[in-house]
Amino acid sequence: MTTDSTPYTVTLVTLFPEMARAITDFGVTRRAVDNGQLQVETVNPRDFTEDRHRTVDDRPFGGGPGMVMKVDPLAKALQSARAANPAATVIYLSPQGQPLTQAKAEALAKQPGLVLLAGRYEGVDERLLDAEVDEQISIGDYVLSGGELPALVLIDAVSRLIPGVLGHQDSAEQDSFSGEFENLLDCPHYTRPEVYNGQAVPPVLLSGNHELIRRWRLKQALGRTWQQRPDLLERRRARGLSKEEQQLLDEYIAEQSS
């Protein structure tokens, strides 16, 4: 956690620094950068090479396809990244990492900052990981070309949790993912027109009865989570469903089978 004045600093160690523009140039994260709450720096290992060809990769010992990222340029790049933020947690985005969860994002948002290492080719020399990396995080089980997009996903998830970044602190936006709706999928969203392609918006949403609307939304969120992501619902159940929640879910399930 940083005090309100100093920005939360993330340094991305990557061979493609321009990819950070996806965070710094658009939307909520751009606004956070513009008003000094978030700072996204990049460090390119290629700038720490000493040979004429600025070599960052080499063939794998033991043979096999592809290339491996060399230790030395990475170690120097990480050293430079740490210098700017000594207390930062150093994370290697990796298929071997722990799955990224909202809880993990919340924990990282409380840290003094992050240094994120994005791999390319077949990955990095293991000795770099042993010496320099605090933890490894994965965003999912599929083959990717590099760790940059995972790093940008992590930065986005963490940035939204930095106090003040979402602007209206006590905003519905903040609450819609925490508190009553924590660990639940979203309810359906609607906006004008009231009828589209002959399909009308659920009348309760136009009723102005905020209590009925709250209950309808909670029922939809519980029901959709039950339907699409029973694993998330289990997590919620482990924390105990209220009487109202259990009743709404039972109603939803009964309506499904009718």
Ligand X SMILES: CC(C)(C)c1cccc(C(=O)NCC2(NC(=O)c3cccc4nocc34)CCCC2)c1
Kindly list the catalytic residues. 95, 122, 160, 175
Per DSSP, 162 falls in state S
If DSSP codes are grouped into helix, strand and coil, which group holds residue 147?
coil
Query: Which is nearer to ligand X, 148 or 245 (by Cβ)?
Result: 148
Query: Which is nearer to ligand X, 102 or 256 (by Cβ)?
Result: 102
Q: Is 139 annotated as a binding residue?
A: yes
Query: Which is nearer to ligand X, 93 or 184 (by Cβ)?
Result: 93
Q: What is the rounded CA–CA span in Å between residue 105 and residue 111?
A: 10
Question: Which spans of this chain sit near ligand X (rule: CB under 6 A)?
Answer: 93-95, 97, 119-120, 123, 138-144, 146-147, 150
Query: Which is nearer to ligand X, 91 or 221 (by Cβ)?
Result: 91
Judge residue 184's burial from the number of C-beta atoms within 10 Å of its C-beta, 0-12 exposed, 13-18 middle, 19 or more buried: buried
Report the nearest approach of ligand X to the CB of residue 181 (Å): 26
Report the nearest approach of ligand X to the CB of residue 38 (Å): 21
Q: Is 100 annotated as a binding residue?
A: no
Q: Is 186 annotated as a binding residue?
A: no
Kindly calculate the radius of gyration of the chain based on its CA atoms and give it in whole angstroms. 23
Q: What is the rounded CA–CA span in Å between residue 199 and residue 183?
A: 29
Q: Is 142 annotated as a binding residue?
A: yes
Report strand pairing: 38-43 vs 113-118.
Answer: unpaired
Q: Is 162 annotated as a binding residue?
A: no
Q: What is the rounded CA–CA span in Å between residue 118 and residue 28?
A: 23
Report the nearest approach of ligand X to the CB of residue 37 (Å): 25
Q: What is the rounded CA–CA span in Å between residue 164 and residue 152?
A: 20
Report the nearest approach of ligand X to the CB of residue 236 (Å): 26
Annotated binding site for S-adenosyl-L-methionine: 119, 139-144
